[in-house]
Amino acid sequence: MNLIETDKLTKRYGSKLALDGVSLELKPGRPVALVGPNGAGKTTLMSLLCGYIRQDSGEMRILGHTPGHAALLGKVSALPQDALLDPNFTVIEQLGFFARLQGFGPKDAQHEALRVLELVDLKDSAKSKPGALSHGMAKRVAIAQSLIGTPKLVLLDEPTAGLDPANARAIRDLIASTSGDTTFMISSHNLEELERLCDTVLYLDKGKLSQSLSLSSLDAKRSVAEAHLTLSLHSEARADLQPRLSSLPGVTHVKAQASGREFILSYAPKPTGHDTYELELALFRLLAQEGISYRQVLNGKSLEDKLFS
Amino acid sequence: MNSQTITQGAPQALHHTWLIARQEVIKGFFNRRGIIALLAFVLVWGLILFYPIKQAASYLADPAIREGLASLSAVASPRKLLSWEIPELALFWVISLYWFPLFAILSSADQFATDKSRKTFRFLVQRTGREPLFFGRVLGQMLLQSSYILVAGAATLLLILFRDPALIPAALRDCVLVLLNLFIVITPYIALMAVLSLYASSARQATMLAVLVWCVISIVSALLGYYQPTLPSLDWLLPGSQIDLLVDNTPSGALIHAPLPVVQSAVLLLAGLFYMKRIAL
């Protein structure tokens, strides 16, 4: 059964078309990234899937049910963008209340609330009221509430926006470790983060689903006509580096970017079993000969380059 | 378009309604705003009980004064009210008929508004349907308002006990009917504020909308009455339109007017539920 299925999903806000006939099918599994520029319709799509708003036309199903259906209660949860907890209750009171609504008994609800707070390292703030939390802490509490119970799908709208790097990393680790039973759909502008976490990338632009990429299979790379290596340097390269990269075995094209600090090498991959790393070895020999310090060699293109080049 | 209405099983929906109502009552009594409202309520009712009710009741307990008041004017005299066995309850009744609706408007203006603008409901609708959310909030307000009425009624009974303990059995019997009537009277106010609070973005805006509703309907009703006197009055559309008929009445006689607020409440709650199911949260 598909996890999410939409067919010609359309939503307008007045005269503005926020979503324009979005059709997609997603299976349960590794996290799914939802990317796109501001105003592309990411939050609208998430809000529709959560049942916060109603579509103008089109169909959508989550685990075979329309969003908001009773069968989905507790199975679909979300980190809604900009939503705030009730300032009148402590964090533990609210999370406990949410757990009660999800069917936990009074004591189990408290334990569950503490469990999810521990996941985001906020057990010590359980008795704080939301007003006493920093922006980052409030975001982590909101992420914690989305993990109550055993949701099948968790929709996270900008989960690490506003978090310090250490906590952003902790949230990424948490998502990665929870991904077994739960499928996450993550909306973010942080492509590097999404690239690390996600298997599938959905690119929305002007309300339309313009691209759907799979990042999963390295083997798939070998079967395509053209593959890529991305070389990042610590400093700007000399002018003669680009032609020398072009002369490496199998390289068909070299694109310089980031003011000469990054090169994308396009090449014709060899079938599996042959001298698969010939190009990489040649590249490292060249860098060693020229005394060039590199920062990263990426097998393929970065998500940013995949989406925008 | 697919319906996004949650159709939960009845037991689960009822359980959720109760959990949400209980949370609302806890918030009403224990948060800062609730405690301030409670303190204001106790202070105002303390003053009402010790001055107008206690003082006036001591005069009205005198049969000669009652007869004198009843004979003042055959038309304007509140004959039924003066026939009440316990004057404290009669005065409590008159004051409550105007006080509690006003209090209900003010204190139930934020059933939904702030949480909607804060998007707090987004955390809840992942876990419960919109129906339990709507009815849970309304039920919570009803429980809160009922407890206020009960407290005021109990304080009045104490006042009667101190004056004449022999009156307590009769006072208890009448008090039950008075409280039941008051509960029926305030229900459509809570229902109307639920609808307005769903539309408004703050409690203050909901209160302003309530003022607007009363003004507009009253003006339209007056204009229609002037230009089309044959048409029935529209006043009955407004919660509390029967209150003037209740003032000079007996506790049991007032129940005759109960169907109007009950129907008003049912219609307003259905309208609120219809709206709740359609709004963006």
Tell if the CB–CB gap between B1 and A55 is shorter than 8 Å.
yes
Q: Which residues of A touch B23 (CB under 8 A)?
A: 89, 97
Q: How far is A15 from chain B (nearest CA, A)?
A: 17
Q: For residues A120 and A134, what is the distance between their CA atoms, to the nearest angstrom?
A: 14
- Check whether B64 has a pLDDT greater than 70: yes
Find the mean pLDDT for residues B233-254: 89
Find the mean pLDDT for residues B95-122: 94
* pLDDT band at B6; cut points 50, 70, 90: very low
Asked if B181 contacts B242 with a C-beta cutoff of 8 angstroms, the reply is no
SS (H, E, C) chain B: CCCCCCCCCHHHHHHHHHHHHHHHHHHHHHCHHHHHHHHHHHHHHHHHHHHHHHHHHHHHCCHHHHHHHHHHCCCCCCHHHHCCCCHHHHHHHHHHHHHHHHHHHHHCCCCCHHHHHCCCHHHHCCCCCHHHHHHHHHHHHHHHHHHHHHHHHHHHHHHHHHHCHHHHHHHHHHHHHHHHHHHHHHHHHHHHHHHHHHHCCCHHHHHHHHHHHHHHHHHHHHHHHHHCCCCCCCHHHCCCCCHHHHHCCCHHHHHHHCHHHHHHHHHHHHHHHHHHHHCCC
- From the number of C-beta atoms within 10 Å of its C-beta (0-12, 13-18, 19+), residue B119 rates as middle
- Check whether B7 has a pLDDT greater than 60: no
How far are the Cα atoms of B44, B45, B91 from residue B52, in angstroms, in the given order? 11, 10, 8
> Where exactly are the structural domains of chain A?
4-214, 218-308
Find the mean pLDDT for residues A60-82: 91
Which among A70, A88, A145 has CB closest to B31?
A88
Q: For residues B32 and B152, what is the distance between their CA atoms, to the nearest angstrom?
A: 21
Tell if the CB–CB gap between B126 and A76 is shorter than 8 Å.
yes
Strand partners, A153: A76, A183
Sign of CA dihedral B247, B251, B253, B258: positive
- Check whether A197 has a pLDDT greater than 90: no
Pairing, β A208-214 against β A251-257: unpaired
Whether chain B has a CB inside 8 Å of the CB on A102: the answer is yes
**Which region among A73-82, A108-117, B261-270 has the lowest average model confidence (pLDDT)?**
A73-82
Which of the residue ranges A30-44, A265-279, A294-308, B112-126 has the most confident prediction, judged by mean pLDDT?
B112-126
pLDDT tens per residue, range A236-269:
888 888 889 988 888 899 988 888 888 999 888 7
Q: Which CATH class is domain A218-308?
A: alpha beta
Find the mean pLDDT for residues A122-143: 94
Closest residue, chain B, to A79 (C-alpha): B123
* pLDDT band at B63; cut points 50, 70, 90: confident
Find the mean pLDDT for residues A71-84: 91
Closest residue, chain A, to B112 (C-alpha): A86
Per CATH, which fold does A4-214 belong to? Answer: Rossmann fold (3.40.50)
Find the mean pLDDT for residues A196-200: 85
Q: For residues A92 and A277, what is the distance between their CA atoms, to the nearest angstrom?
A: 54
List the single best residue of B127, B279, B281 to mutate versus A (max A Cβ within 10 A). Answer: B127
Mean pLDDT rounded to a whole number for chain B: 88
- Check whether B201 has a pLDDT greater than 60: yes
- Check whether B261 has a pLDDT greater than 60: yes
pLDDT tens per residue, range A99-120:
999 999 999 999 999 999 999 9
Closest residue, chain A, to B29 (C-alpha): A88
Tell if the CB–CB gap between B27 and A77 is shorter than 8 Å.
no
pLDDT tens per residue, range A38-52:
888 999 999 999 999
* pLDDT band at B229; cut points 50, 70, 90: confident
Which among A60, A77, A86 has CB closest to B126?
A77
Higher-scoring residue by pLDDT: B66, A154: A154
pLDDT at A106: 94
Find the mean pLDDT for residues B191-198: 98
Which among B1, B6, B278 has CB closest to A69?
B6
pLDDT at B146: 95
- Check whether A222 has a pLDDT greater than 60: no
DSSP assignment of A63-90 equals TTB-TT-GGGBTTEEEE-TT----TTS-
pLDDT at B207: 96
pLDDT at B37: 79
- Check whether A156 has a pLDDT greater than 50: yes
- Check whether B3 has a pLDDT greater than 60: no
pLDDT at A140: 93
Domains A4-214 and A218-308 share a fold: no
Mean pLDDT rounded to a whole number for chain A: 88
Q: And the tokens for A118?
A: 């521990």
Percentage with pLDDT > 90 across chain B: 62
- Check whether B176 has a pLDDT greater than 60: yes
How far are the Cα atoms of B110, B133, B138, B196 from residue B130, in angstroms, in the given order? 17, 5, 12, 17
Residue A232's φ and ψ, nearest 5 degrees, are -115, 135
Q: Which residues of B touch A80 (CB under 8 A)?
A: 119, 122-123
Strand partners, A205: A208
pLDDT tens per residue, range B122-149:
999 999 999 999 999 999 999 999 999 9
* pLDDT band at B2; cut points 50, 70, 90: very low
Find the mean pLDDT for residues A63-83: 90
Q: For residues B281 and A83, what is the distance between their CA atoms, to the nearest angstrom?
A: 10
pLDDT at A275: 62
- Check whether A154 has a pLDDT greater than 80: yes
Find the mean pLDDT for residues A149-163: 90
pLDDT tens per residue, range A294-303:
998 988 877 7
Q: For residues A128 and B253, what is the distance between their CA atoms, to the nearest angstrom?
A: 52
pLDDT tens per residue, range B157-166:
998 998 889 9
pLDDT at B82: 75
Q: For residues B120 and B281, what is the distance between their CA atoms, to the nearest angstrom?
A: 8
Which of the residue ranges A225-229, A236-240, B141-145, B224-228 has the most confident prediction, judged by mean pLDDT?
B141-145
- Check whether A218 has a pLDDT greater than 50: no
Q: Which residues of A touch B27 (CB under 8 A)?
A: 86, 88-89
